Structure 1
Amino acid sequence: MRREDIKNIIESVMFAYSDPISVKELNYIINEDLASKEIEFMLHSLMEEYKENNRGIQIIKLENKYQMCTNKEYASFIKKVLEPKKKKSLSQATLETLTIIAYKQPITKVEIEDIRGVKCDKVLQTLLENELIVEAGRLNRIGKPIIYKTTNEFLKLLSIEKLEDLPPIENYKDTVSE
């Protein structure tokens, strides 16, 4: 195998494997029985290439292992990507739909729309994006409709341990205008 190929293998393995990796592990992966010095040489060669070109990534040495990481010069940009996304507040329609799913799950979109009396495609998409509901499979009937159920994220949002901790639906019957 060519030296350039081995260097590319090292680079791709380090990119895909985010944890520190030893020379011995890299040698095992490459499966060429190279001398440790040869792999270390290629690692240092990559390190120099990244440094000379002021690349967005770098390879650092941590004790006897190496790790690919972002160049600290660009840390402020990485922080913007990794900051928790601010979830927008849920609309009344979204909350109503979430409540229906919570109490009637598993439930199909058609069943939700029958209860609410309006289409709910966008509302379901919002709930899915916020990871408050998931597609829990399909019913074995015509059209194979998707069934929805709430998630652990929903339980965390309400600070409850299990669905049985939801207040009884009877508590809300007097507040619903018919």
Structure 2
Amino acid sequence: MNAALAELLAVFFAAGRPLSNRELARGLERGEEEIRRLVGELGRLLEDGGYGVALEEVAGGWRLIVHPRFVDRVQRVLRPRAPRLSPAALEVLAIVAYHQPITRPEIEAMRGKSSDGVLEGLLERGLVEAVGEKPVVGRPRLYATTQRFLELFGLASLDDLPPLEEGPALLLRD
């Protein structure tokens, strides 16, 4: 492994979060085209699992993950806990994800019940955030999903959400 790839690997290892090509270029004082080339090269180097890690594109950037070959072993040692979300929290999160930006009253109209506590819990967990105010009387807050949401659900962007099929009326757009 050459010095540039080792440097890039060290940055990914230390970051603990996805890093965009722009962040990497700025921090490593290299051009974005060179960063794209290095990330591709590092990804190819890691893809066979010989280093135990792989690169994953998620949330508009790249991060190190455990190589799929070793996930079972790592889980046996670390026993990670998946984030536990109640059915109500998953319902509200899905509504926000597919209809963002959206106000609390709009969420409640879709659900047919209050969403105050559920929405507060999603805000506290960093899965949803207030992104502005709707320009109507009362100026209700608009909510959208966060980068953390993309990371936890392994999505590169909202475009990676599965398409809505006919089913629960609460998720169908007007």
TM value normalised by structure 1: 0.48
TM value normalised by structure 2: 0.49
If you compute each CA radius of gyration, which structure gives the higher value, 1 or 2? Answer: 1
